[in-house]
Structure 1
Amino acid sequence: MGDKALKVLVVDDEPLATERLQLLLARAQGVDLVGTASDGEGAVRMAEALSPDLLLLDVAMPGMDGIDVARALAAANAAPAVVFVTAFDQFAVAAFEVEAVDYLMKPVDPVRLERALTRARNHLHGREEGASGIPPASSSPYLEEFWASDLTGLVRIATRDIDRISAERDYMRLHVGQRSWLIHHSMGALEEGLNPADFVRLHRSAIVRRDFIGGFGRNPSGRWIARLADGSEQPVGRLYSDNVRAIAGR
Structure 2
Amino acid sequence: MPDSPSLRVLVADDEPLAAERLQVLLSRTKGATLVGTASDGESAVSMAKALEPDALLLDIAMPGLDGIDVARSLASQRPTPAVIFVTAFDQFAVAAFEVAAVDYLMKPVEPDRLQRALDRARDYVDHHRAPSTQAAAPSEWIDEFWASDLSGLVRIAARDVDRVSAERDYMRLHVGRRSWLIHHSMTALEEGLDPSLFVRLHRSAIVRKDFIIGFSRNPSGRWIARLGDGTEQPVGRLYSDRVRAIAGR
Q: In the TM superposition, what are the counterparts of 1:1-250 in structure 2 within 5 Å?
A: 3-129=4-130, 131-133=131-133, 140-250=139-249
* Distance change >3 Å, CA 115–CA 135, structure 1 → 2: farther
TM-score, with length taken from structure 2? 0.89
Work out the CA distance in 1 between the residues paired with 2:5 and 2:134: 20
Q: What SS does structure 2 have at the residue aligned with 1:157?
A: strand
Work out the CA distance in 1 between the residues paired with 2:19 and 2:203: 45
Work out the CA distance in 2 between the residues paired with 1:135 and 1:45: 27
Amino acid at match of 2:79: A
Deviation at 1:140, TM superposition (A): 4.6
TM-score, with length taken from structure 1? 0.89
Deviations 1:206-235 (A, max 9, x none): 100112222223344433322222232212
Work out the CA distance in 1 between the residues paired with 2:237 and 2:95: 32
Work out the CA distance in 2 between the residues paired with 1:26 and 1:52: 16
* Distance change >3 Å, CA 228–CA 4, structure 1 → 2: closer
* Distance change >3 Å, CA 132–CA 245, structure 1 → 2: closer
Amino acid at match of 1:218: R
Amino acid at match of 2:157: A
Q: Is 2:79–2:129's contact at 8 Å kept on the other side of the alignment?
A: no
* Structure 1, 227-236 or 215-224: larger mean CA deviation: 215-224
Q: Structure 1: state its 5+ residue gaps.
A: none
Work out the CA distance in 2 between the residues paired with 1:134 and 1:66: 31
Deviation at 1:201, TM superposition (A): 0.5
Work out the CA distance in 2 between the residues paired with 1:2 and 1:146: 32
Q: What SS does structure 1 have at the residue aligned with 2:129?
A: helix
Q: Share of identical aligned residues, percent?
A: 73
Q: Is 1:5–1:30's contact at 8 Å kept on the other side of the alignment?
A: yes
Q: Is 1:6–1:32's contact at 8 Å kept on the other side of the alignment?
A: yes
Q: Is 1:93–1:185's contact at 8 Å kept on the other side of the alignment?
A: no
Work out the CA distance in 2 between the residues paired with 1:118 and 1:63: 30
Q: What SS does structure 2 have at the residue aligned with 1:83?
A: strand
When the two structures are aligned, how many residues end up with a matched partner?
248
* Distance change >3 Å, CA 7–CA 102, structure 1 → 2: same
Work out the CA distance in 2 between the residues paired with 1:219 and 1:173: 26
Deviation at 1:44, TM superposition (A): 0.9
* Distance change >3 Å, CA 3–CA 229, structure 1 → 2: closer
Deviation at 1:73, TM superposition (A): 0.3
Q: What SS does structure 2 have at the residue aligned with 1:45?
A: helix
Work out the CA distance in 2 between the residues paired with 1:10 and 1:46: 10
Work out the CA distance in 2 between the residues paired with 1:148 and 1:100: 14
Deviation at 1:33, TM superposition (A): 1.5
Deviation at 1:236, TM superposition (A): 1.8
Amino acid at match of 1:62: P
Deviations 1:165-197 (A, max 9, x none): 111122211111221111222222222222212
Work out the CA distance in 1 between the residues paired with 2:129 and 2:171: 35
Work out the CA distance in 1 between the residues paired with 2:126 and 2:198: 30
Amino acid at match of 2:71: A
